[in-house]
Structure 1
Amino acid sequence: MTTPQQYTAPSADDFLMGGGVPSAKFPTVGHSVSGRITEKPTVEQQRNYEDDKLKFWDDGKPMMQLVVTLATSERDPENPEDDGARRLYVKGYMKNAVASAVRAAGARGLEVGGILTVTYSGDGEKKNVKFNAPKLFTAQYVAAAAAELHIPDPGTAQPTTQAPAATAPAAPAQVPGLTPEQYQAAMANPATAALLAQQQAAQAGAGNVPAF
């Protein structure tokens, strides 16, 4: 069976203007959704696919999910107004993957301007014949701040016993800690792009300081 599109309460602007942000989709194993977080993530209660009723655990506690809005490079060819915004509904296995990615990045949580990449990595054990096997995910997170983009600070670089070779500056997509896709997504954020440019300029200038 196919998974219906998730429901989330519209924002004030969406409600007023009649718009909405489509859900991120993971049609096949290996598919990734990546983009810059554009809104502060929110927590809401999950709803049942069949009747849209709120979902609860057996002990009566509400089943919650994290809603994350991303600016992605995806576009729906049938929707000329599609700007690439997608909503991730983070729960279950995806929640575990995103939490691990945030911890690996040294961050305390998801923030506006951060780059989140989620990949459909495979299927788990099918425990209910009425539903598909649960999807498994992996995730990567790069915080918006330059210090959390894993770019070395030239002032804290470790000394070396060999003279640095006269090599050309590394290509932008070779920024330490970032894949080319993450770099491209980071550059979509003007504030992050400015921080990257400052760090790269500082690194280039550090190699021209004469030794005494």
Structure 2
Amino acid sequence: MSLFATSTGKGVKFNEIGARITGKIAQLPFEKQATKFGSQEPDYWPNGDPKMQVVVPLTETNAPREDGNDDGDRTLYVSSTAMKKAIFAAISAAGAQDVQVGGTLTVQYTGNDPASQNPANPKKLYQAQYSPPATGLAQPAAAPAAPQAAPAPQ
């Protein structure tokens, strides 16, 4: 992926149980440092390591358009372990090694973890589905062979 590629879609928000996003992978996912909630300040773990997230640019999504300038492109920020596991399971179920540009990804917020350590802000649970892109390598059906004339007797 080019270092000049950018993700321009609005961020996907899973505000309520049942929220779902479906879209085509617009470019290969990449890692980016997460920011502190409500700011643009980079976030770090207590040991000083940067908190990283996977950024998945999506196009042709099912997201409702917010205004006339909204093209529907969205960016899925994957920072939770639960979402990563759901997407990995979907990739595996599709028989793929990873997502590919043009593949279709669906992620749905299915509920809250009942064993969450913070009931005021419980861990979200997700399910995902992935379909690889069509390869375009399908061969056209072979034309039936024309019957050959029997050799003329000599």
Decide: shared fold, TM above 0.5: yes
Task: Report the TM-score, using the length of structure 2 for normalisation.
Answer: 0.75
Aligned residue in 1 for 2:94? 105
What number of residue pairs does the alignment pair up? 138
The residue type paired with residue 70 of structure 1 is L
- Give distance in 1, aligned partners of 2:26 and 2:38: 30
Q: Deviations over 1:76-123 (max 9, x none)?
A: 2x4101111011011211111111111222222122111111011111
> Is residue 127 from structure 1 mapped to residue 104 from structure 2 by the alignment?
no
The residue type equivalent to 1:84 in the other structure is G
Aligned residues of 1:42 and 1:67 also touching (Cα < 8 A): yes
| 2:77 equivalent to 1:95 | no
Which residue pairs with 1:31 in the alignment? 19
Please tell me whether residue 57 in structure 1 is matched to residue 45 in structure 2.
yes
Equivalences for 1:176-195 in 2 at 5 Å? 195=136
Q: How far apart are the structure 2 equivalents of 1:86 and 1:45? A: 18
Gaps of 5+ in 2: 145-154
- Please state whether the residue corresponding to 1:61 is helix, strand or coil: coil
* Alignment partner, residue 10 of structure 2: 22
Partner residue of 1:40?
Answer: 28
Do the aligned residues in 2 keep the contact of 1:48 with 1:55 (CA within 8 Å)? yes
Superposition misfits of 4+ residues, deviation over 6 angstroms: 11-14
TM-score of the superposition, structure 1-length normalised? Answer: 0.56
How far apart in 2 are the matches of 1:136 and 1:57?
Answer: 22
1:68 and 2:56 correspond = yes
**Percent of aligned pairs with the same residue?**
38
Q: More displaced, 53-62 or 38-47?
A: 53-62
The two structures, once aligned, show a CA RMSD in angstroms of 2.7
Deviation per residue, 1:153-172 (Å, 9 max, x gap): xxxxxxxxxxxxxxxxxxxx
Q: Is the 8 A contact 2:9 2:58 kept in 1?
A: no
C-alpha contact 1:75 1:83 (8 A) present in aligned 2: no
Say which one has the larger Rg.
2
Any stretches of 5+ residues in structure 1 without a counterpart?
1-10, 15-19, 147-194
Tell me the secondary structure at the aligned position of residue 101 of structure 1.
Answer: helix
Q: Whose helix proportion is higher, 1 or 2?
A: 1
Q: Secondary structure at the match of 2:10?
A: coil
